[in-house]
Structure 1
Amino acid sequence: MALSSSRAPLLPLLCLLLTVVAAAKHPKQEKPTPAALAPVVTLEGCPDKCGNVSIPYPFGTKDGCFRPGFFVVCNDTFDPPRPFINSSLALGTDDTRTQIVVEDLYYLTAEDGMPETTPTRSAWPIELAGVSLSDAKARLLGAFSYECRLNETHHSVRRQRINFGVYRSPFLLSDADNVLMGIGSNVVAEQTTGPLCQSYLNLISLSDGPVNGSCSGQGCCQANLPPVRSDSTVTIQKGTMYEDGGYGGGGGGRVDCSYAMIVEKAWYNFSSVDLDSDAFLRRNAAGVVPVVADFTIDGGGCPDAGEPTPKDFACISDNSKCVDRLVYDNSRGHYCSCSVGYQGNPYIHGGCQDIDECARPDLYPCHGKCKNTPGDYECSCPAGKRGNAKQAPCTDLFSLPAKISVGVVGGLFIAALLVFIILIRNEKRKMAEFFEKNGGPTLEKAKNIKIYKKEELKPILRRSNFIGRGAFGEVYKGDLDGQSVAVKKPVDDSDGVHNDQFANEVIIQSRVNHKNIVRLIGCCLEVDKPMLVYEFLSKGSLDDVLHGSRRDPLNLKCRLDIAAESAEGLAYLHSKTTNVILHGDVKPANILLDEDWTPKISDFGISRLIVKDKQHTDFVIGDRSYMDPVYLRDGLLTDRSDVYSFGVVILELISRKKATYSGNNSLVREFLDAHKGKMEATKLFDEEIAKPEVSDLLNSLYEIAVRCLNLDVDERPSMTEVAESILMLKRSWSNTLTKTSSAS
C-alpha cells in the first residue's frame, strides 16, 4: 500500500496527480478509453478533499456524502485543513469512542521507580492521512508511548491507547500492515492482547551490539498484532537500574529514553542514535506515528452465488467485486474493490475505469507491441520475433543463416514477381497495340459483331478441339454464350497480307445477311493474328462429305439442293449487296453444311470489295485447283472468277471426284474434252446418281458447268444466271417426279 508518511500527507494526492499527468502524456490516437477519462472520487456535489488529503467515497465530509461510520470532520482551523475520523457513532465512555487516549506523567525524583501519582489523561480524534480503496485501508496518525529521563530528576512518561470504538465501528487495526515496536537498551513493549517484544543490549559481547536498520532485539524489537482488534494500549516496562544509576547502560547525568508504539511496518528504520536518547522524541515532536486501519462496510459479508444483491449493496460500479473480511467476533463484513484491470472507486456508479496498461510500462511490462483492451492488455512480439513479450524481450524468429536464406529466396521471389509484372504489362500493352492495329476502334462500332477477349477464347484453342484447317487458319470447335461456335485461328504467314485479309473478311461478313452465308458472330483483336468466331455447322464442309473418309451417302436431290443454294449465296454476294463482293476462293472446302444439309458459303479471307477501277490485285491467292486461269495469269479477279470456280464445284458434285491443279486439272480436262468431242459424259458421273431416268438432268448440270468453265470470261454466265438455271432444273425435275408419282 502506497501511503504517505505522517508528516507528509501530500504524497497520496501527489501520486494521484502524477498518475493523471502520466496519462495525459500518453494520449490515445483512437477515441478515448475509460482509462483516459478523469477518475471519479466521490459523489456528485461532494468535496473530494480536505486540505491536501483526498476524501473518496464512502468517506465524506458533508451530509449525504458518506456511508454510515465514514463521516470525516474537516477541521479548517488548520492551514491547510486537516481531516479527522468522527466519533459520533462511538457512543458511551471515552473507552468506546474513536480516538487516541494518552496518559502523561511528569515527576521529579532521583529514586528508581514511578511515584504513586495520578497521570494526566487527554484524548483527541484520530487524524486521517490517506485512503487506499483498492484494499480498503486507511492511513491514520496514532501516538507512541515513551519513558524518558531527561536528567537525574526530570522524568516524563506517556502511555498511549488507540481506540476505534466497539459499537459498529468500520475500522480495525491492520495486523498485516502494523507491528508492535520497542526501542531501548532494556525495555519490554506490551500491547493489550497479543505478543510483546523485548529490546536489550548485550554488554558482554560488543560484536552482538545493535545494527542500524535491524530491529531484531538488539536496541529495537518488534512483534505482530493479533487479528481483528479495534483498540490497543501500548505500555513500556523498563529494566532494573544498574549500579551506576543508569537504565540498561545509561547513568549519571545522561539522557535515558525508551519508546513503544503500534506503527506501520517499514515506517521506522532503526538508528543507534535513537538508543537511550531523546532523538526520536525530538524528531516526532507532534507525538504521532502512522498507523494503518482496515475498514469494512457494515451489513454482513458478500452475497453468495445465486443470492440476490442486498438493497444497500455497496459495490455498485461496473467491473467491481465484493471481498469478504472478518470483523468482530469472527463475523463477516466486506469491502469493495475494482476488478482486475480496472481502477478507481467501486462504491460509485462508473467509478471503476479501465487501466491503460500500455501507458504504465513500469507496472505492466511489455517488450513488444502493446495494445490496451478492456480489463487487460495485449503484448505481442513484432514481426520476425517470438516469445512471451509480457515476461521477457522477444527473440529472433529465425537464425542468421535462416534470415539470409529467406532474404535470398525473398529477393528471388521479388525479382520473379517484378519480371512477371513486367511481362503482364508488356502483354497488356501488346494486346492494346494489336487491338488498335486490327481495327478495334472501328469494329467496336459494328452492332452485329461482338469483340471477344483473348482469355474468353483460350479454353477453346486446345488441340482436342481442333476440327480442321482452312487456307488461312486452323478451326476449333467450342461453346460461347450458350451456343456452339467455330473459332478460326490464323496460321503464321510471311507475306504480311493477313491483316488486310482479316479486316476485309470482317467488313464483308458484317454486311452480309443471307441464309446461305456463314454467320460471323464476333472476333478477337488482342492477338497479332486476329481470330474469327463463326456459327458452328455440324456436317462439316462439302469437301469432307464428297471426299472424306466417311463418304456419306448423297442422293441427287441433296446434291441439286446444295448446288442451287450455294449458287444463290454467291449470286447474293455479287449482285444484292451495296458493293460487289467477290469471294475469290470458291471450293467445296469453303461450302459448309448444317444438320439439314443446307449449304453456307464461308472463308472470306481473300474476298474483295469491288468498286470502280479497283478490280486488280497484286496478290494471287487461293486454291489453284479451283482458280480461274485468267485470274491466275493476269491477277484480274472478277465476278466471273467465282463463276469459274463454281463450275468446278458442280463437276465435283456430279462426279464425286476431286479437282487437282497438277496434271492440268484432270477432272476439268475430262469433262471439257468430252464436251468438245460431243461425247456423252455419263461415264464421268458418280455411279450413286448416274441413273438413266436422270441422265437429262445430269447432262444439263454438266452443260451449266461447262459454260462456267469457258476460258473466255465474257462468255461465262453470271452467278445470278447460274443460280436461275439450276433453280429451273430443280423445279423441272421436281415437277417430273410429281407427274411420275401421280401416274403410278
Structure 2
Amino acid sequence: MSPALVMLTCLLLAVAMAPLLLQAATLIGKPGCQTTCGGIDIPYPFGIAMEGVNVSCSLTGFEISCAKNRSGDLVPVLANTEIAIEVLSLSVMPRPEARVRLPVASQCYNSTGGETGPPSYGTVDLNRAGVYRISDAHNELVVLGCNTLAYTNGGPAGGQYGKTFYTGCISYCRDARSAQDGMCAGVGCCHVQIPPNLTDNWMTFDSWSRANQTFSPCDYAFIVEKDHYKFKASDLTTMPVSQTMPLRLDWAIRSNISAMSCAEAMTSPDYACVSQHSECLDSTNGPGYLCNCTRGYEGNPYIVHGCTNIDECSRPEIYRCYGKCKDTPGSYDCTCRMGYQSENPKEQRCTAKFSRAAQLALGISLGISLLILTLLCALMMRQKRRMNEYFKKNGGSVLEKVESIKIFTKDELNKITKNNSEVLGKGGFGKVYKGTLADNTMVAVKESIEINDARKEDFTNEVIIQSQMIHANIIKLLGCCLEVDVPMLVYEFAANGNLHDILHGHGSCRLPFPLDLRLDIAIGSAEGLRYMHSYAKHTIRHGDIKPANILLDEKFVPKISDFGTSKLLTLDKDYTMFPVGSMGYIDPVFYMTGHLTKECDIYSFGVVLLELISRKRTIYGGNLSLIIEFLKAYKQENNGRAIFDKEIATEESMHILEEIGRLAMECLNENVEERPDMNEVAEQLVMLRRARKPKPNLPLCGGFGLIRGLGRVCAFSALSLCF
C-alpha cells in the first residue's frame, strides 16, 4: 500500500471516530474543560477552572485545583481551602462520593503529664459551600491513646450543649502491655459509628492524668473509612502527628443558602439533572438532591446527553441471557434459538424440542455421564476420607477446639498460596510459601514435620503454645492446615526478610545499617526472648536463636521465628538426645549435655549481639571465629575496636559499642550460672538506647530497602512526603 493511500485511510478513520471521541469526553466533563489530574478523573459537576474557557467547568462548591504535592507530582485538591486536601477519587453514580485525605487530630504530653504544645483538632474548611457531608455509612470515628476521651459534634447550634449531637469514645490502658494489635475495643484504641449530616472534622480531647505514661505520649482522633485502619499497639508511640487518613464524603446539589428537594428543583431554571434518561433522587445524608441515569443507561446525568445506553449483551455476567441476546434502548431482548424453548430465557436455560430418537440418544448420554459422575464422586469421597485421616493423625480433634487457632482446609490453603506458586525459602523442615488471606493480609505458610501417634500429643501442645504467644516481637501463628500428610503452619508475614540477609548481604545488597536501628532490633529481639522465658503461660526455650530466625516486618520490628516444633520444649521436657541448632550459635553446654535451658538461648543471643556490632559472620575471613577473635581482642587490647563494624565505629558511638560487646561476653560466659538472664539483657540494652542522643523525629511516608530470601534481590523506594 502506498504512503499516500495509508495517510488517506488514517484521515478517514479520524473523521469517522471524531464524534465518538467527543461523546466519550462529554461523558466526563464539559467540552474545553480539563477532565483529569494526576491520573484521577474529574467528572462534572466537579471541575478545574481553565483560563480562556468561557463555560463554567464546575458547579459552585465543586471546584477542584490541580496542584503539585511535595514530591512535585500533580494531584487534585479541593479548591478554596486553607490547607491542601488531596482528592483520591470522585464519583457521580451510582453513588455520589468524594474520597479525600484529612489530617489526624492529636494532643501530646510530656513525662509529667503536661501538654507539649497546642492540640491539633484536625479541622479543615472543606465545606464552605455546604455541598459535602461526612458519610456515616462508610466512615467511623477512631480514638487512640491511654486514659483519654475524644469526640466530635455537629448539627446546628441549640439545646443545652450547643450542638445537635455529640459522638466519641473512651480509651483506657492499665499499663504498657494492655493494648494488643488488632484489638480496638476500648484498650488503647476505640471506635464508634458516626451520625449522618456531619459537616466537619473538629475533634475535642479530654483525658485523665498522663504522668509517667511514656508508652502513650499522645492522643489521636480521626474519622476514617471503615475497615481501613487496623490498630497496632506500636501506633501509640510511633504514629506521626502529621498522619492523614482516607475519608469518604457524600455530596449533593445544595448550598449553605438553599437546599431544594427534587420536587422543588425540577421547576428551577438551575435544575442539575440535564441529561436525557436522567432522574432526580433526594439526598439521604443532609438536604438537597442528586442525579442518576435511569435504568438501562449510564454515564454523567449532570451533562447534556451524558447518560448513554448500556449494551447489556456485552455484560453477560450482570445481565443474564440463556439464549440469543439483542440490545434495545434502555434494556435488552433475550430469545431462544430455533428448536429451543424456555419460559423466561433471562432466568431459565433454553431446552431443546427433542424428537423420540433424540430423547433416546440423550438418555444414553445422560447414563454415561452419570457413570462418569459416580466414579468421580467415589474418587472425591476417597480423597475426603484420606484428608479426614490426616486431620485426625495430626491432632485435629484437639486443635479444632482451640479458639486461638484457625484451622484451614486444604482447599483454603491452596487458594491462599495459589497452589504453592511462590516459595519464600527453604528451612530444615521443608519449604515456606507466600500466601494472601481473603482480607489481603500477607502470610507465610510453612511445612511442619511429619506426625505419628507418638508425636501427636507433643505437636498439638506445641501448636497451642505457639498460638497463645502474643507479643510484638514474636512471629504470630495464625493457624494451620491438618488435611495433608505433613501439617502446614500459617504465620504472619515479615515483609523485610531476616536479619541475616541485612547484616551479610553482598555487593549492592549490603545496605547502610545505622547503630540506632541495630539497637532497636537487639532490644526487640531481647524483649521477645524475655517474654518466652518469663511471661508466657509456659516457659519456652527457643533453642536456635540466630539472625536468620529474627524476621523484620515492614517497619523493621524484629519478630523471633522458626521455633521448629521439635525444638519447642516445655519445663517438663528439656532434655534431648539429639541437640538441634546451628553451629556457631549453639551453646557448648547444650551440645555436650543435651540439656536445653534458658541460658542456652542467652548464649546464642550473645553471638547475635556480636554480629550486630561487627557485621561479621560467625566464621569469617576464611577460618576466623568471630567469638574467638572478639575474646582475643579484649584480652590483648581490653576493647573490641578491631572487630567493630567501621560503618558505626565512631568516637560518639564507641562507648555504646564497648558496652554491647561486654554484654555479649557476659552472655557467652562458659559458666552458665554467671550469664545474665533475659530481663537483665533487655534492661541493659534499653539503658544503652536511652544514652544515645535523640534524633529529630521526621515523619517519613516511604520505606527502607527490602531484602528477599537467598536471591538477595534488593529494591529501594524513594522517601515520599505526604500532604
TM-score (norm 1): 0.42
